[in-house]
Every structure is written in structure tokens, then in C-alpha cells.
Amino acid sequence: MRVGIDVGGTFTDFVLLDDAGGRIETYKCLTTPRDPSDAIEAGLHALEAQAPGCIAGLEEVIHGTTLVINAIIERKGACTGLITTQGFRDVLELGREIRYAAYDVFAEMPEPLVPRQRRLEVNERLRADGSVLKPLDEAEARAVARALKNLRVESVAVCLLNSFENPAHEQAVKRIVAEELPGASVSISYEVLPQIREYERTSTTVTNAYVKPLTEKYLRRLEARLAGIGFHGRLFIMLSSGGVTSAGTAAEFPVRIIESGPTAAVIAGQYFSHLFELPEMFCFDMGGTTAKSCLIQGGVAGIVPTFEVGRVQRFMKGSGLTIQVPVVDLMEIGAGGGSIARRSKLGTLQVGPDSAGAEPGPICYGRGGTLPTVTDADLLLGYLDAEYFLGGTMKLDLEGAKRGIEEHVAKPLGVPFMEAVWGIHDLINETMAAAAKTHIAERGGNPHVVTVAAFGGAGPVHAWGLARKLGAPRLIVPPNAGVGSALGFFTAPRAFDLVRSHKVPLASADFPEIEKLFHTLETEGERTLRRAGAEGRIEFARSIDARFIGQGSETNLAVPTGDFATLDRNDLRRRFDAEYERLYGRTYPESPVEFVNFNVRASLPVKLLSLPKLARRPNAKAADAIKGQRRAYSGLAHEFISHTVYDRYRLAPGVDFGGPAIVEERESTVIVGEDGKARVDEYGFLWIESLGSGSSVPE
């Protein structure tokens, strides 16, 4: 048995999977922001009540967490110091010397995680090829370490110039810091990110050091609490790149789990894309705090080498802290069930990006919230049942939601009450659709052919409206969609990504030396997985980041495993030109190419997930699952109309029904518009289409 636990900003989701029998149990509860392990322990006890003996029988706990990214955004990490090469003290503030808002003279840049007084220099220098230009002065390095001790730093980042080619000086500084500050954590760039580009390498290493003590403490506490309730298996953590790793590796490299939580839904979407042979899927996961989405093409979600966190301007690239680690190509916007609605400074309706979160939450939760949110609007529109939220375990305050929207939205805007309520719901759909269209277009997709897959507590409520605005022909909603992203934990490989920079022209590259470099990376990757208890055959995937000489960005090129020395240079050049032309429309055969980064993914084969099939019932009809009728708002009619309410647990495979309809399960609610048609497949997925789209729903 395995359990996936996804800690979100508002709710913590649990999925218990019995691999032998295919049984799935789910649970959802409010997140406990002060200590996420409180909600985890409470949720596991709830699962134990549903499936007695499950905790003792657990082989794995797979966990996705927002702890790291929240610590960065809220600036609650460790007191951190930076040791760098003389002359490079200010690289965190210089960055790439690019203004994200070129014409805004008041544009703010993110505050560095390490203030200038805790950024100290050592007198050493390596050349670009790693040879020593100026040896490290160890006495000076020891004095710098003592100075950081006097500043009471808890964690130290070490990032020296060109150390990705030669780590000797960084390793010496690491030894000295360990001797002078025995209680401090140490992160050196050669271990965190041995990759070219000084700013990105420094920023990533500093971020790792900043959150390392917090992550170590949290994971130790979580392991102790799990052991205390009878868990004897292994704890794994979701990586931002879509794999899972051991708690020990996550504690050592917490910068790799910044996007740990949001990645799970995308990995589940990849699995469903393969299962149903859907060439273009738009994975949409809307929770209480944010909405995350990703375009999956050919069953594969894109991986990007860099991303930003803690943006000063949330939707403006360049206004955040740059992190250079592999991460699933997610689009994230501040649009969740807890997104706060208000009158903007321009006198218009604004929804988000700030959220009421889990504490105090939307007004209707009755936990002290006073500002109206998307969930309050969804309740007033009739989409949610105040008596059946979370399966009836959490009653919603309808009157409180009414007062909040009237006071904070309708009256300030001077609009009718229902216009304000519908405006909140429709505006958040419009915001997500606009961002989604850009995301899809930038990746060469077409919103008119994608299948939207909805996850999260709020996702199925808004997916119909989002799909209509995208012009998508089809929407699918998996069973237990409210916790569906946690299913992604079970389909993710146990994996670790490694990279090493070594800039060399293709024409003169020493291929046997490159093979040695790849072999070193593979050995390191295997060692990391074995330390995490991995058994069985480990697979390796190789790739190279290459570019035209003089170019500022690279193109990733997959290369076959095996002896690199036997590869043909001309064939590699042809592969590069073909990939470059596919991405950008043309290539430049006369321009020489150079290799920059060498990448390896070490992974174990994925444990196959066998989704349970629903038992077929002769003569089953959709009418068998009707709970009743409820008046809910129609965006087409602009008035309340009667919707048929279905109990999702009683919908048999093969049945179909038309809208307007509301399909309820414990953790989420699905809305089907009046021009929609839905069908239940053998796994319990809802396949929904618009009658005017011309698409078909699989039998």
C-alpha cells in the first residue's frame, strides 16, 4: 500500500492506493500552515478509520509540499551567509542587468535572500577552463568563516567563480566552514548546480542554503511523527522535475522541491494522456490558493531548466528570484477558490492574486474570514451545496457569503448583487483562459484541439467555463478529482537529474572525454538513488544543451545512451539543426555549434498504476444517480435555472446525461452547462463535450 499526500495552500489531499487490489481511498482536510505535519497526521488517522490497518501496512508515503516556496515568498528561511570570489559580492543584485519593466522608473527588484553585510569574499580565482589563476588563501577563508559566525548565520552558501570546472576551492571552503561553524548548514555550488552562468548559479545555491535548515527540520519532524503513529515504510518527496526522491536527498537539495506540490497533477495528466491516447491535453489544477496548468503534448509535459519564485510583480518575468533547476513547465496564476474579490483602484472588479488561504479562508468557511472569495461566489451561484461541502463534514455559511459580497463588491462597484456574484466567477475564468491561451500558443499548441483535464477542489467547478472560453472541444474529470493530483505521485519515477557545464565546440570536442563526463554523472545519479534505497535496474537518459557559438541561450538535444565516443559529429550537427528548425522555423548551417551543458536523468522504471474499473450494471441509467434538482446560475441564460444534481458514486459506466447538471462527490463538484453532454467511462471518468463543438465522447 502507498499513500500520496499533497499539501496545498488551503487543503491537504490524501490518496491511499492498494497496489495489490487496486483499492483507492481518499481524504481531504484543511492545511495547517504553522505546521503542515499536523494536517498530515490527522489525515492519516482519518484514512486509518476508512481502511483499518493501512498505516502499518504502508510501504511508501509520497509527499508534495509547498513548504519551500512558501518559506521563500514569506522570507522565513534561515539567516544565511554567502562566500564568493573577490569582486563578485553583488552578483545577486546585479543579476542579468535587465529591467523587467523597461519604462517603469519605480519598478522594484526582489530583495536578495542574503543582505550585503552577510555576503563576504575570498581572494582566489580560477580560469574558465578550471585551472588555478590565484590559489585560495585558506587563512583568509577561515577569517571570513569566523566573521559569518559572529554574524550568527545558520546556513552558508559557497559560490566561487568557474568552480563548475574545478571544485577544489569550494570543497576547501566547505571544510573550513564546517570546522569554524560546526552547527551551520553548508551548500556549495558544485554540489547544488555545477553549471555555467554566475548569477543563476549563485542565486540557486543561496536559495538552497536559505531553506535547507527549515527543510531538514520539517522532514525530520515529519519522519518522527510518521514513525510515532506506526509507519515503518519509506518517505519520498516529489521533485519539481516530476520525479520522486528520498527525504534525505530532498533535505540536502531543497531547491529541487520548490514546485513539489503543483507538479503532481501534471504527472497524473501525463498518465491519463497515455491511457486514453490523447495527443494534446491541457492539465488544469485549481485549488484554494492558485491554479496550475500545463500543456501535455504526445504524452509528455515539457521540462524547463529555470524558473522564478517570489516575483515582485506576479505575472512579470524577471521580477523574481531566478532558480536554475529542472522543473515541469507549469503556468501558475493567483486564481484559486480562496482568491479575494474587491474593487480595484481603477474602480473595476478585481479577483486575486492574493488569497484567503486556509486561515482564515473564505467567508463561507466560518473560520473568521471577512473578505469575499471565488468560493463564496460559487456557493451563491448554486454550484456548491452548503450542506455537502467535503461530503457534508464542513457546513458553509451562505448568509455570511452574501453579506461579504454585498459589502465589499456590489456596493463599492455600484452594481446589482447577482451581477457582482457572477462577475467574480466569470472574471476568474477569463483570467485563467487568457493565461492558458498564451501558455498553449507559446508551446505550439492549439486550444481548439486540446482536451482539458480538471483537477483540484475548485477545478471541476470552473473547468466547463474555462473550456468554453478556450474553445476546447472536450473536458475530462477523473474520479476523486478534488484530490486527483495526488494520484500523480504514484505514476512518477524515482529519479534524479544531474547537469555539468563544460563549454567546448562541437568541431573540436573530445568525445571520449565527454563519455567519461557522462559516465561520472551516471555514477553519481546511481549513487544518489541507491542511497535512497533504490533496487533494480536504473535507467539513464542523456541530453546536451548546445548553441551556436556566440549565442546567449541553448537548445536541448537528446542523445543516445551508450559510448558517446562512437557517435558521428555530422549526425549530431544534423540533429541540432533539425531541432533548432523545429523550434524556431529555420537554422544556420554555416554557423559553428558548441556544447555547453551535459545532462543525465537517472531513474527507476515507474511502478505501473492500475486504475480500478467500475462494475457494469445491466440496465443502468443516469436517473439512478439523481439526488434532486437545484437552481443554479446559467452563464448563457443569465439567470438561475434548474440543474439536475447527480451523485457521482452512483453513476455507472456507460451512462450518459445532458446539462444543465451538477455532479457531486466528496472533494469536488462538476458543473455541466445546459448545452453539454456527459458520459461515464469504465474507469469512472466523466467525458464532457459541448453539443456545438463537434467533438465526440468515447464509448
pLDDT at residue number 254: 92
698 pLDDT tier (thresholds 50, 70, 90): very low
Helix (H) or strand (E) holding 323: strand 321-323
639 and 540 fall within a common domain: no
Chain segment 56-74, per-residue pLDDT in tens: 888 889 998 877 887 887 7
575 and 662 fall within a common domain: no
pLDDT at residue number 319: 81
Among residues 152, 170, 197, the one where a domain terminates is 197
696 pLDDT tier (thresholds 50, 70, 90): very low
123 and 173 fall within a common domain: yes
* Beta bridge partner(s), residue 30: 11
Which among 432, 471, 466 has a CA at the least distance from the CA of 351?
A: 432
Quick check: 197 and 319 in contact, CB under 8 A?
no
95 and 193 fall within a common domain: yes
* Beta bridge partner(s), residue 193: none
Least confidently predicted of 81-85, 93-97, 190-194: 93-97
526 and 592 fall within a common domain: yes
pLDDT at residue number 314: 61
580 and 503 fall within a common domain: yes
Instruction: Give the range of the structural domain holding residue 172, as residue numbers without chain letter.
Output: 80-197
pLDDT at residue number 315: 61
> Is 573 a domain residue?
yes
Percentage of the chain beyond pLDDT 90 is: 54
* Beta bridge partner(s), residue 640: 633
694 pLDDT tier (thresholds 50, 70, 90): very low
Strand order in the sheet with 155-159: 119-122, 80-85, 155-159, 185-188
Chain segment 497-539, per-residue pLDDT in tens: 899 999 999 999 999 999 999 999 999 999 988 887 777 889 9
- Beta-strand relationship, 291-297 and 125-126: unpaired
Which residue blocks in 331-390 are alpha helix, DSSP H?
Answer: 374-380
Which among 334, 331, 326, 308 has a CA at the least distance from the CA of 98?
A: 308
98 and 193 fall within a common domain: yes
- Listed in order, strand segments (DSSP E) in 537-623 are 539-548, 555-559, 593-603
Query: Per-residue pLDDT for 627 more than 70?
Result: yes
What does the pLDDT average to over 121-140?
94
Chain segment 361-385, per-residue pLDDT in tens: 899 999 888 999 999 999 999 999 9
Least confidently predicted of 25-39, 394-408, 428-442: 25-39
596 and 657 fall within a common domain: no
> Is 674 a domain residue?
yes
Buried (b) or exposed (e) across 639-651, using 16+ Cβ within 10 A? eeeebbbbebeeb
pLDDT at residue number 691: 58
Least confidently predicted of 438-447, 461-470, 686-695: 686-695
Quote the mean pLDDT of the chain.
Answer: 89
pLDDT at residue number 358: 66
> Is 555 a domain residue?
yes
Cell triple for residue 552?
A: 546567449
> Is 664 a domain residue?
yes
591 and 650 fall within a common domain: no
565 and 668 fall within a common domain: no
Query: Per-residue pLDDT for 201 more than 90?
Result: yes
Phi then psi for residue 158, to 5 deg, are -120, 120
Inter-axis angle of helices 168-180 and 138-150, to 10 degrees?
A: 40
651 and 599 fall within a common domain: no
Chain segment 268-297, per-residue pLDDT in tens: 888 889 889 999 999 988 887 778 888 998
Among residues 162, 197, 232, the one where a domain terminates is 197
pTM above 0.85, yes or no: no
506 and 564 fall within a common domain: yes
- 533: domain CATH number? 3.30.1490
> Is 328 a domain residue?
no
Query: Per-residue pLDDT for 608 more than 70?
Result: no
Query: Per-residue pLDDT for 20 more than 80?
Result: no
Number of structural domains found in the chain: 3
Among residues 154, 182, 197, the one where a domain terminates is 197
> Is 152 a domain residue?
yes
- Listed in order, strand segments (DSSP E) in 193-252 are 234-238, 244-246
